[in-house]
Every structure is written in structure tokens, then in C-alpha cells.
A = this chain, B = another copy of it.
């Protein structure tokens, strides 16, 4: 399923019997997951590798929580909660209510079903399994055909400097509701992190395209690119690199992207996102009417707002067509 009507990329490689060139999609949480879902609907499972940001990961009440991996996993499994924008649709909150009653921290909400994933992952991580192996096992158990891999099996933690000093990402994003102005960003642990070997292998094997999903560049995509060797591996992989703008008419569809641009002294615009990625980009997919002045890579215009599944599929097709046009 999903193969009919998709662009014909990769057909030659399959005919030749060699490894299938894949689409490598770099993604954060909700916005990226929408396009990843669209890609998963138009590509055979073995032709899609989603690389998840783990800079948002954190330790909470003794559990290792990986919000972007989880959003991708739940979204691709059809279990996501579109109302909340995180967690599972079929959720209950008995654990959370009781935790609060017992004096536990309750600013980060963990549903009863969601919790099973966190408990199991934390237990397996403590037992020495790499995050990638656990992530891969869980997506298989949830019936997801496409691969989802963390950018690295080593911990990277995004930290933000506000006017009151450095704070952890989830503290800022959830506990403080992304309210404090952000003056600087760092990815703690990134310098010592190694790219996840499966991601590196896919890039070295010659992918069909690298897609940068419409995620927040500062906190979703740049942590991935900050893993030493990742940016270089993408730059030399020989495939077109196509980003999708997360900014439409100067606004982010969801989340603090536009706000962060302003606080960091930049105008929130599709062009500003393209500028962040710089020479890495070969193509840039952006909203029909937005200003493309000064954008260096080849611009492709389409509807980028993803409200329905059809929107996601249509954008996925447009991105793949853009990549094909750039080959």
C-alpha cells in the first residue's frame, strides 16, 4: 500500500537488486511527524527512514522520556492524540492524578498508556540496550513499517538561556509554557555524541533524498545537525537535500518557532529558516504566497499547511517530486 501513484524514484535500484535508496527524513515532533506520516503513506516501508531529534529528551520522575520519538511513533502508528498534539488518543490519567496526590511532580503529564512506553524504554536503557534498538523494536510492535531512529544513541540535551539563566528544554517548553524569551541555545552532550550508525549507513549508501521536515529549526533540526559528522554526512551523501518551511505567512503552524526567531534577533519568515540551513539545502518547499526573496536553494511552492491526511500525503508527494526534480 501507499506505493501507487508515488514518484518513480528508486525503481532502478530495486530492479537492479541492490539496496533500496531511502528517503532520510529529519524530524522533530508534531509538524515533522505530520510530513513523516504523509511520506509513510506514499513510500514503501523499506524506503523511509525517519531520523528523530532527541535533544528534547529528558529524565522525569526517573523515566527517560523521548518526546519526538514518541510523537513520531504514535503518529505513524495511528495512535496519536490530535487534540493534545502529544501522547496517545486512547488515554487515561489515573497514574497522573495519583502521582500528584502523592506529592510527585505533575507539570509534565504522562498518560497511563503512554507511561508503559516510558517505563519499558527506561528499563531497557538501564539494561544497556541502545535507544535505537528499543525504538526500532517498539515501532515494529506498533505495526509501523518505516524505520524511526534517534539521531544518536548518546544523550544530547537541548538547553536554553533565558534572562534568568540556562534551563532545560522541557522545563522551558512545558513547565514554563515556552514563555521566557530565549537568548541562546546549546545542545549539551552533542560534541561527544556519535551519529546513530543506521542513520550514517543510510546516508553513506546514497539515499534518494534527505528531507528536512517542517520542524522548528533551532530546537528540532539543529540538534540533529549538531551531532558531529551528521551535517557532513548529509552534505556529501550525493542526494538532494530538501527542506519544508515550518513558517507560513510569518507564523509557525504550532509551537514557539516564530517567537524564537524574534527573540534571537531574526525576522520569522520562510526565508529566515532557509538561511539557517544555509548551503546544506538544494531545494526548499514553501507556501504558495510567501516571500522567497533571498532564498538561495531552488524554491518549490505548494500548500504546506497540513490539516488533513490528504494534505500530508499531498505535501509528501510535492517534496518527493521536488527532490526528483533536483537529481
Contacts and interface: CB of A to CB of B under 8 A. Distances in A.
A62 B120 CA distance: 8
Contacts of A91: 94
Identical chains in the assembly: 2
Interface residues of A, number: 30
Name the residue among A61, A62, A126, A137 with the largest chain B CB count within 10 angstroms.
A62
A98 to B, nearest CB: 4
A116 B95 contact: yes
A101 interface: yes
A99 B112 contact: no
A103 B115 CA distance: 14
Given A92-B112, A112-B112, A63 B119 contact: yes
Contacts of A292: none
Interface in A106-148: 111-113, 115-117, 119-120, 122-123, 126, 137-138, 141-142
Nearest to A120: B104
B102 A117 contact: yes
A119 B63 CA distance: 9
Interface string A171-194: 000000000000000000000000
Given A99-B119, A102-B116, A104-B119, 13 more contacts: A63-B119, A94-B94, A94-B113, A95-B95, A95-B113, A96-B116, A97-B113, A102-B117, A102-B138, A102-B141, A103-B141, A104-B123, A112-B112
